[in-house]
Structure 1
Amino acid sequence: MSQSLLEFLVENEPAFRKSRLPALYSDFQTQRTLNPDGYQANVSAWRKALRHIVSSGLAPAGRGSAPDLFVLHSDEQLLRALESKQYGRPLALGAVVREALAAKDLIPLREFLDAKESIYRRSWSVWNLASWTMKQLGVADFLKKDSLPSGQFVVVANVEEAGKAFGAQNGPAANARSRFERTFTKAHFYRTLNDQLVEGKHLSETDMDILLRFLSRDKSAILYDGNTIKIKSPAGACAADEPDQITTEDASIAQLRELIASLTHQTALLGRRIDELTAQAKQAVAKSNRVAALAALRSRKLAESTLARRFATVNQLEEVAAQIEQAADNVQLVRVMEASGAALASLHARVGGAEGVEEVVGRLREQMAAADEVGSILAESAGAVVVDEAEVDDELAALEGEEKRKAEEAERAEREERERREAEETRRRLAAAGEAPRGDVKLPEPGDNNKDDKEVRAAEDMMSRMSLTETPER
């Protein structure tokens, strides 16, 4: 086992490289003053290794007991488990355990379970202050032994990891769960969450006791009195309506839930038993074994009658559970209605009731009427301004006429420009023909609207008789 445990550390702990094993297995206590950084690195590596060994279930435990995932059994058996043929035993493991105890990373099991105050509360006494001072000065080394402290120590880091897993499963999800669903007996809680808090591992009974104390005392996540467990409702889920202690109602609910779960498990077992007896009867008939077939059928009948009674009991208990939940909902509803009534009464008192509101509205209307009257008086004193509508119409007509004249002028200018371009185009074509008109005949100019139509026709006739080719000489 020793070699396999060391191989586990080499494979899973980065600090346990083969090149570092000689230093880790040596007596490095002398480095506390000579090489403080190296000493702290070795101590930190061993403390992390011990946490990992315990959480993996590989740490040695008591004879015949299941491995504890939260408890380190510090004794000779642990040293033998870590012993190596090449490096021997870890000589400074005692110093590592003492450092972890001083830092509260390890806490004696009985001290952890019996503590009334949270483990996170640090109380300074004269002895603690003196020990801390001596440790800082290096004097404390003379008061300590080299041997490994023996005992059972709770690994706080492993408990905290399980607490986080519990919080992830039962934190916000508990908002949608009733008080009935959040109440357990210790045995029911153990069976329900045993394999859900540490991946791939089952908690021992000691581990469960540690976890319950941690969740109730140090995290205030549950209420626990040693027998009954109630998961606290998160903030915002009417937690104030529930008592901050385990009541007789909670104990009754927890026992009822455990009984329902037990009977449900029994029905599943009886169902499988009936299937097995049916198969046995068929096999006996196939082998012509009439006696065995009759025995299997009789046993099946007994199992079926027992199963029917179990189902009837479960149905009755589930009906009782439903009535309890309904009664709890009714209590909560009445409390909400009572609180709502008190809130409405307080609000009505603040506004003075219906009479007070009518009085306020009446005063408001009076003040609004007074404001209107003051406005009218001020308007009369300033003189009213009278607008002559006829003058306004005349000014509008003048503006429209001005806009119309501008539009006509723009249209006329555009037309003249178009006629000028047409006349210019005509001259260009005549020049391109090689002969321009002579004499007194001239083309009408653009915009010359007073020219006689005859002159225009004469010019057009001359243009039509013009020859575009020269007459050959004879």
Structure 2
Amino acid sequence: MSQLLDYLVENEPGFRRARLPALYSDFQSQRTLNPDGYQANVSAWRRALSRLVRSGLAPSPRGATPSLLVLNSNEQLLRALETKQYGRPLAVGTVVREALAAKDLVPLSEFLNAKESIYHRPWSVWGLAAWTMKQLGVADYLRSEKLPVGEFVVVANAEEVGKLFGDRSEAAASRFERTFSKTHFYKTFNSQLVEGKQLSQTDIGVLLKFLSRDKGVVLYDGETVKIKAPGQDNQTAITEEDASIAQLKEMLEYLTHQTALLSTRVDELTTTAKEAVAKKNRVAALAALKSKKLAETTLERRFTTVSQLEEVAAKIEQASDNLQLVKVMEASGEALRTLHAQVGGAERVEEVVDRLREQMSAADEVNSILAESAGAVVDEAEIDDELAALEAEEKAKVAEAERKKAEAEKARRDAEMAREAEETRRRLEAIEKIAAETQKQEQAETQEAEALMSRMSLEEMVPERQREEPQAAV
């Protein structure tokens, strides 16, 4: 299989090996005979082409950076998909035409030049007629097997990269951070949006057009890019201040890059001069030192310029923040004025407070009358008796609780003493048992020693008798 087909088999669920013969066949006739199968094949190929472009594996012009948003539909694409086992895919042309009709693919020039959003679907008489003919199958007579040739924007890829851009740009807070020149925008985001891949210049143009016209998240006039901040949807054009900020940021980025190069150049020339001195090459050492001096002078000027531009950038950011602060204060003042107007002024407030006080005094008077009338029927003696009964009941509860506690404590101590007595008894029995066993062992050892002594005495007496008996015989 080809490299592209191997990639699709591993990464695209619709390209299972069992389905490859059907996907590489000419399935145009299935549009009327088997509509479900036809749609399944078309959907699988459309997702596959989108994935090939997004992965950077789709064929691109020689020497050009692979585009991640634009499909190059030509003979080279068919050759890249061709395999020995299945040949060329015969229905890719149909797939591309279906995607063009559904606006999933849009010709590059049409995408870049369109004034209205790609999501706008105006109905027209010709569009309605074409849709009707397609539903009736009449349009099949006009179909072609040839692959449409050209560059087509893959809308699904543009949407995915646009979402990634939105996630990456959320942290940009100030006006200075949200404004770029097109060149600076490319250098900043070309390798940050798709992991492990770089967007081409064409991709950046497509992305900016998509974000500005179709999503409305940035402002773009062909040279300057400004990310819209929350609450600034009413801003519709790039101002001269935005263009100036973009040029300033681009110049700062350029000079910062130059200072890095010059610093490296100074280090290299210093090393060259040291090596020349070590080799006794005075001419080369002087030349290196002279070049180093010139590089250091240029580097100092660059640092001075960068410092000045950074100061200007800080002033611009401060002025922008002050402008936002004034706008917020103005809006807050207008809100306070509206609220004060709704309150009705100090006189109305005093009137409301006076009425509230009158109503509160009336309520207090009513409460006092009700309290006096209710107090005439209260019997203090009954209350005292009831209180005494409650206190006696509480004392009885406390005494009962203390009695139970004392009984429990006594039972615990008795149980503890019984346990200790039992433990002492068991220990004494164990000691007596050990003493008895020891005594028996000592008696056994004594008896064994006495027996041994007796045997030794007998053995000594036997030889003496033997000596006496021979003498008697003589």
TM-score (norm: length of structure 2): 0.76
Q: Tell me, yes or no, if structure 1 residue 355 matches structure 2 residue 347.
A: yes
Unaligned runs of 5+ in 2: 397-474
> Distance between the aligned counterparts of 2:362 and 2:379, measured in 1?
32
Distance 1:92 1:27 in 2: 5
Secondary structure of the residue aligned to 2:29 is helix
- Corresponding residue number in structure 2 for 1:156: 155
1:334, 1:300 → 2: CA distance?
50
1:326 shift after superposition: 0.9
Deviation at 1:375, TM superposition (A): 6.0
Deviations 1:45-93 (A, max 9, x none): 2212211221222222234432211111112222222222332221111
1:193 lines up with 2:189 in the alignment: yes
Moved over 4 A (4+): 370-380, 386-389, 391-400
Q: 1:89 to 1:344 in 2, by over 3 A?
A: same
How many angstroms does 1:140 deviate by?
A: 1.1
Instruction: Return closer, same or farther for 1:373/1:265 CA change in 2, 3 Å cut-off.
Output: same
Paired position in structure 1 for 2:289: 297
Cα distance, 1:18 vs. partner?
Answer: 3.7
Partner residue of 1:308? 300
Distance 1:250 1:392, change over 3 A: same
| Inter-partner Cα distance in structure 2 for 1:8 and 1:184 | 37
Look up the equivalent residue of 1:219 and give its one-letter code: K
> How do 1:225-236 residues align onto structure 2 when only pairs under 5 Å count?
225-234=221-230
- Counterpart amino acid of residue 194 in structure 1: N
Match of 2:412 in 1: none
The CA deviation at 1:311 is: 0.6
Alpha-carbon distance between aligned partners in 1 of 2:388 and 2:4, rounded to the nearest angstrom: 111
Counterpart check, 1:140 vs 2:142: no
- How many residues align? The count is 393
Aligned mates of 1:41, 1:278 — CA distance in 2: 67
CA distance, structure 1, for counterparts of residue 157 and residue 232 of structure 2: 29
Structure with more helix by fraction: 2
The aligned runs of 1:357-396 (5 Å cut-off) are 357-373=349-365, 385=376
Residue matched to 2:427: none
Query: In structure 1, what is the Cα distance between the partners aligned to 2:105 and 2:386?
Result: 100
2:101 corresponds in structure 1 to 102
Deviation at 1:304, TM superposition (A): 0.8
Q: Deviations over 1:258-314 (max 9, x none)?
A: 111111111111111111111111111121111111111111111111111111001
Instruction: Return the alpha-carbon distance in structure 2 between the equivalents of residues 397 and 318 of structure 1.
Output: 83
1:273 aligns to what? 265
User: 2:204 is matched with which residue: 205, 208, 211?
Assistant: 208
AA paired with 2:284? A
* 1:326 match: 318
| Equivalent residue number for residue 217 of structure 1 | 213
Write the distance in 1 (CA, Å) between the matches of 2:248 and 2:211: 23
Please, which runs of 5 or more residues in structure 1 have no aligned partner?
A: 407-474
AA in 1 matched with 2:6: E
**Take 1:52 and 1:399, find their aligned partners in 2: how far apart are those partners?**
88
Residue 383 of structure 1, CA deviation = 9.9
- Partner Cα separation in structure 2 for residue 387 and residue 137 of structure 1: 96
Partner residue in 2 for 1:131:
130
TM-score for both structures, normalised by structure 1? 0.76
Distance 1:379 1:312, change over 3 A: closer
**Against the structure 1 CA distance between its residues 159 and 377, is the aligned structure 2 distance closer, same or farther, given a 3 Å change threshold?**
closer
Between the aligned residues of both structures, percent identity stands at 70
Secondary structure of the structure 2 residue equivalent to 1:45: helix
Instruction: Give how far 1:252 is off.
Output: 0.6
Once the two structures are TM-superposed, the CA of residue 361 in structure 1 deviates from its matched residue by 2.1
**Structure 1 residues 367 and 271: CA distance shift in structure 2, 3 A:** same
Deviations 1:141-188 (A, max 9, x none): 1111111111111111111111111011113x23xx201110000000
1:246 aligns with 2:234: no
* Whole-Å separation in 1 of the counterparts to 2:62 and 2:154: 20
Per-residue Cα deviation, 1:407-465 (whole angstroms, up to 9, x for no partner): xxxxxxxxxxxxxxxxxxxxxxxxxxxxxxxxxxxxxxxxxxxxxxxxxxxxxxxxxxx
Secondary structure of residue in 2 paired with 1:349: helix
Rate the CA distance shift 1:369–1:393 in 2: closer, same or farther, 3 A: closer
Distance across 1 between alignment mates of 2:316 and 2:168: 25
Distance 1:54 1:379 in 2: 87
Residue aligned with 1:48, SS: helix
RMSD: 2.9
Q: Distance in 2 between matches of 1:46 and 1:393?
A: 93
- In structure 1, how many angstroms separate the alpha carbons of the residues matched to 2:374 and 2:13? 97
User: 1:239 is paired with a residue of what secondary structure?
Assistant: coil
